[in-house]
Structure 1
């Protein structure tokens, strides 16, 4: 099922203190997390996003840090990742 749903390199991102709108996150996350391959980002709930990467390297990158800071318009939004 995981392979059929294309979830083998899926990561959940959690924003605890606000977040940019989803269209902006789709541009900001790959750039600011330094992801190299294609990424599909969708909203799971009000604080969670599903990040599906195509490369194992990007999957490992997202899980290698305890927290990323997604910056937009002088605001920094902490994002924790889980698999």
Structure 2
């Protein structure tokens, strides 16, 4: 009986977290100059911090918030 309750608890815990791992779609894209090469980067979020605009850049930025100045052009300002 105890094993059944333990299994049910684990199933409920896992099913409750199922929506947290959703695939995030990019909101726009940009071109960054990295090591002298133009690289296309998917952008997953845009935010303002004070007077600075930041983008949540995918690879090669590691899905971190970086300054708009890291990009030479973007499609975010439509």
- Say which structure is richer in strand: 2
**Larger Cα Rg: Structure 1 or Structure 2?**
2
- Say which structure is richer in helix: 2
TM-score between both structures, scaled by the size of structure 1: 0.24
